[in-house]
Chain A
């Protein structure tokens, strides 16, 4: 009996081997997503108003509820968004943490660039479009 299945070939790859880097940034892939699952799950809860209130009332209890590791809790306490990204946090979920801690997207971005918020705004084409 002959097989009609074509010779097995791996599919063409879409990303550079060994974890893609784009202009020094990590690409959020399955390894990152698995690593960051606790952080992202906690951030995801912040889509609910009562969870945002709960977070603001007791950040430590909130982190404990989502089983964050000791290192992950330090990253949250110090608002180290670059560190949270490296720990598998996804930018769109971290934005929800930004909202409850008073760190909007552009403040997070300035932090990642190693600039003050004002320095970052000065690099933009029209900082009035916010």
Chain B
């Protein structure tokens, strides 16, 4: 049987990728962010998940508005690194778990989630930043490689109408049913990415809402169902237009049980985005 062992909520700000690629993770301005993930990587090395389900959004790297899926699930044995407009980042390609992805897609559709199945998917900062924050690239036989297989799940948070907060929560519950019904004994971590507060358009460009972000971190841990009642209007008033990405954390939280215990938590807001982190672990 498959088993969900852990959930992580984390921001996926692109400048974090730039700092990582340039080796700036220890500068005074970046240390408060990167240091918070050192114990997270250690924790994940000990938990040893076989699969990471990465719930993220594409920012125009692989999906375009000619056809725009609400929920798109990767169903391949590997995922290439996308060029977002400034070249391809020097990261190893992402290994998939094809058999698990096929099971997940089948289970979700029969659970009445009418997803888009993607046998080719190029992943970008929404996926990659959380990936290299949470996992170390290992040198295996000379070739750099990720220590975990991944399943990308892309959520439309760009073009309204978006899936509701409650729908995202229910997707998480359906993912848990899929994992629980998988025949192989695999351990799964699920990562909900994006946010926290940010607004990237208009005269209030750069506006953040620290108090609302800290309240969200508290509620995603202790009272996540209260967040599923929020409309997009309310969420954007609290977290900014682009802060609506936080609905993706609800997919992660919906996949965990009520007994999951919080392990790590961090918040840092240096520039234009509140960067949050929370980890939760299921009880053995």
Q: Chain A: residues with CB nearer than 8 A to chain B?
A: 12-16, 20, 22-30, 33, 37, 40-41, 43-44, 46-49, 52, 82, 85, 90-93, 95-96, 99-100, 105-106, 108-110, 112-114, 120, 123-130
Q: A33-B65, A113-B206 are in contact. Are A28 and B160 (CB under 8 A)?
A: yes
Can you list 21 pairs linking A and B with CB atoms under 8 Å apart?
A14-B161, A14-B233, A15-B232, A25-B241, A26-B201, A28-B158, A28-B160, A30-B161, A33-B159, A47-B61, A82-B202, A85-B202, A90-B159, A91-B200, A92-B158, A108-B205, A112-B201, A112-B205, A120-B206, A126-B29, A130-B271
Q: A113-B205, A114-B203 are in contact. Are A23 and B61 (CB under 8 A)?
A: no
Q: Which residue on B lies nearest to A44, using beta carbons?
A: B64
Q: Which residues of B contact A52 (CB under 8 A)?
A: 85
A6 to B86 Cα, complex, angstroms: 52
Q: Which residue on A lies nearest to B232, using beta carbons?
A: A14
Given contacts A14-B231, A96-B60, A109-B206, 15 further A-B contacts (CB under 8 A): A20-B236, A22-B236, A23-B240, A25-B204, A25-B241, A28-B241, A30-B160, A82-B202, A85-B201, A92-B60, A96-B85, A109-B200, A112-B205, A125-B269, A130-B18
Size band of the interface chain B makes with A: 35 or more
A90 to B58 Cα, complex, angstroms: 13
Question: In the complex, what's the smallest C-beta–C-beta distance from A9 to chain B, in angstroms?
Answer: 16
Q: Which residues of B contact A100 (CB under 8 A)?
A: 85
Q: Which residues of B contact A37 (CB under 8 A)?
A: 65
Question: In the complex, what's the smallest C-beta–C-beta distance from A18 to chain B, in angstroms?
Answer: 12
B271 contacts A29, C-beta separation under 8 Å: no
Q: A15-B160, A23-B240, A30-B159 are in contact. Are A112 and B202 (CB under 8 A)?
A: yes
A61 to B85 Cα, complex, angstroms: 19
Question: In the complex, what's the smallest C-beta–C-beta distance from A126 to chain B, in angstroms?
Answer: 4
Q: A109-B272, A123-B206 are in contact. Are A27 and B85 (CB under 8 A)?
A: no
User: Which 8 pairs of residues, A with B, have the shortest CB-CB distance?
Assistant: A128-B29, A129-B270, A96-B85, A25-B202, A126-B270, A109-B205, A129-B29, A92-B59
Q: Which of A22, A114, A124, A128 makes the CB contact (< 8 A) with B206?
A: A124
B272 contacts A106, C-beta separation under 8 Å: yes
Q: Which residues of B contact A28 (CB under 8 A)?
A: 158-160, 241
Interface residues of B in 225-284 (CB under 8 A from A): 231-233, 236-237, 240-242, 269-272
Q: Which of B18, B84, B161, B164 makes the CB contact (< 8 A) with A96?
A: B84
A91 contacts B201, C-beta separation under 8 Å: yes
Q: Which residues of B contact A106 (CB under 8 A)?
A: 271-272
Q: A28-B158, A109-B205 are in contact. Are A128 and B240 (CB under 8 A)?
A: no
Interface residues of B in 1-42 (CB under 8 A from A): 15, 18-19, 27-30, 33
A20 to B162 Cα, complex, angstroms: 14
Question: In the complex, what's the smallest C-beta–C-beta distance from A24 to chain B, in angstroms?
Answer: 5
